[in-house]
Amino acid sequence: MKVALVGPTGVLGRALVPLLMAKGFTVRLLARSAEKARRLFPEVAEVVEIDLLAATVGELASALQGCEAVAHIATAIPRDASAPDAWVANTRLRTEGVRKLLDASLQAEVKRYLQQSITMAYADHGDEWISEDAPLDTAPGRAQVCGPVISMEGMVRDAPLEKLGWCILRGGSFVGKDTFQDDTIEGLRLGRTTVPCDGSNYVSFIHVDDMAAAFVAALERDPAGAVFNIVAEPLRQGDYLDRLAGSIGAPRPMRDASTPCPPSWRCSNQAARNKLSWQPRHSVIP
Ligand SMILES: NC(=O)c1ccc[n+]([C@@H]2O[C@H](COP(=O)([O-])OP(=O)(O)OC[C@H]3O[C@@H](n4cnc5c(N)ncnc54)[C@H](OP(=O)(O)O)[C@@H]3O)[C@@H](O)[C@H]2O)c1
């Protein structure tokens, strides 16, 4: 099966491309920089330079010709989330980028569409488990992040399933090579990382290699019209940071009661275990 990847040069792509190839898929890379894609993946024959935001639907459809499946894994998460216009590019990738890619997929008669999404778009559920039927967060205070995710998933769900077998994979916070976990480890080592509030909120992490494996499982199992949480066993944030500190020999981080309590996301991966025969295999503590 030939699979097109949109945004293959990021953290997830670097785990997913080699795994797809090892599993016998043919990969076509739709990358913003062909030079970067070729440097990262010299073994991939098909590389198309295309910017999801600049391309027309027709250009995207040409880039998808001959592919049976496409996965949208492009993102532009800002390094400084508070900077003016920080979220503009990411929002556009999740809204007009998705609209164009869906239209192009239909035009090119691609049969399967995989959309990467995020479990961080759920509302705070405290100690309650979160399954995929829980609504995404519509609170005005979280509109900047959750609004585009809600639009994105809505557009995917509205695609005609008989033509485009879509599947949405809601990933937890990534851990593993080159993820935000590197910054957390550095902060713990320097004694700068503190546990917000009392650390009792749940965090649902996923190792990027397990996230990549979920994409492969979705391509192999073809669960058209399904949404999955792709997460490891959730941990309380305080326990996670204590264990992470312990693993590198750093002191236990201080609790900072003055910081607001983060939302708690105790996401269940039961549906992915049942329907994709997938399970997380990597520890979230390196
Ligand atoms: N990081 C997390 O904790 C996390 C958790 C759950 C889900 N996710 C989701 O997982 C997916 C992959 O995340 P990641 O961590 O791998 O992201 P990443 O490392 O930032 O990579 C993003 C990719 O998107 C590409 N891209 C950016 N703007 C583009 C554009 N206009 N047109 C085409 N491609 C563009 C980037 O290309 P360049 O290399 O040229 O910049 C890169 O290949 C995203 O959907 C993200 O929302 C992330």
Question: Which residue carries 């949208």 as its tokens?
Answer: 72
Going from N- to C-terminal start, the domains of the chain cover 2-175+206-232+268-276
Q: The whole model's pTM is what? A: 0.97
pLDDT at 79: 83
Choosing from 29, 32, 153, 184 the residue with most ligand 1 atoms within 8 A of its CB, the one to mutate for a pocket test is 32
Per-residue pLDDT tens for 9-24? Answer: 999 999 999 999 999 9
Q: Which residues contact 123 (CB under 8 A, 6 or more apart)?
A: 134, 135, 136, 137, 139, 263
In degrees rounded to 5, what are phi and psi of residue 102? -65, -45
Q: Output the ligand 1 site: residues, CB below 6 A.
A: 7-13, 32-33, 36, 51-53, 73-77, 93, 116, 118, 171, 173-174
Longest dimension (CA), the chain: 56
In terms of DSSP bridges, do strands 129-130 and 226-230 run parallel, antiparallel, or are they unpaired? unpaired
Residue bearing the CA closest to ligand 1, atom 24: 74
Tens of pLDDT, residue by residue over 20-45, are: 999 999 999 999 999 999 999 999 99
Cβ neighbour number for residue 177 with a 10 Å cutoff: 14
Whole-number pLDDT of residue 143: 95
Residue nearest to atom 5 of ligand 1 (CA): 173
Q: Which of 60, 73, 151 to mutate to test the pocket of ligand 1 (most atoms within 8 A of CB)?
A: 73
What is the spatial distance between Cα 181 and Cα 284, in angstroms, rounded to a whole number? 9
Distance 258 CA to ligand 1 centre (A): 32
Q: Residue 5's pLDDT band (boundaries 50, 70, 90)?
A: very high
Report which protein residue has its CA nearest ligand 1's atom 42: 10
Q: What is the pLDDT of residue 82?
A: 85
Instruction: Please tell me the distance from the alpha carbon of residue 207 to that of residue 85, in angstroms, as a whole number.
Output: 29
Residue-wise pLDDT tens digits, 233-280: 999 999 999 999 999 999 999 999 999 999 999 999 999 999 999 999
Homologous superfamily (CATH) of 2-175+206-232+268-276 is: NAD(P)-binding Rossmann-like Domain (3.40.50.720)
> What does the pLDDT look like over 143-199, one tens digit per residue?
999 999 999 999 999 999 999 999 999 999 999 999 999 999 999 999 999 999 999
Counting ligand 1 atoms within 8 A of each CB, the residue from 29, 38, 75, 146 with the most, and so the one to mutate, is 75
C-alpha 73 – ligand 1 centre gap (Å): 6
Closest Cα partner for 284 from 257, 254, 244, 239?
Answer: 244
Share of the chain above pLDDT 90, in %: 97
**Atom nearest to 173 CA in ligand 1:** 3
pLDDT, tens only, 58-113 = 999 999 999 999 999 999 998 888 888 999 999 999 999 999 999 999 999 999 99
Q: Name which of 112, 34, 23 is nearest 71 in CA terms.
A: 112
Dihedral angle, C-alpha 4, 9, 10, 11, nearest 10 °: 90
